Amino acid sequence: MMLRIALYAIAALLLSAHFFRAGNLIMVALCLLAPLLFLLKLRWSLYLLQLLAYGAAAAWINAAIAIIELRLQFGQPWQSAAAILVAVSLFTLVAGLLLNSRTIRQRYP
């Protein structure tokens, strides 16, 4: 169970770094505070954490599309940036999906 929470925390840190680079400090704070919802031990907090992870995965895909379009426009290579952002998106998606396990659901009645 701790591994699942740690993966989620890493995904939240990655997303907060993304928002920090964009200068959105409110979203940075929200991303850093989101893993604290694990402390509530309530089912709705688990659902909210999953929803946030899926939204974060979508945000990474959106960022990947924007970077690919920008790099194509300027004739720059885009494959490595796309691979990295898709990998981060998949990591975030898996972190959210792992919160659906029986072990986690038993601890959040």
- The residue-averaged pLDDT of 7-28 equals 96
Rounded to two decimals, what is the model's pTM?
0.91
- Cα separation of 41 and 1, whole Å? 13
Cβ-based neighbours of 42, under 8 Å, separated by 6 or more: 108, 109
Whether the Cβ atoms of residue 33 and residue 75 lie closer than 8 Å to each other: no
The amino acid that residue 40 corresponds to is L
The amino acid that residue 58 corresponds to is A
Tens-digit pLDDT profile for residues 38-86: 999 899 999 999 999 999 999 999 999 999 999 999 999 999 999 999 9
Token pair of 54 as six digits? 């899926």
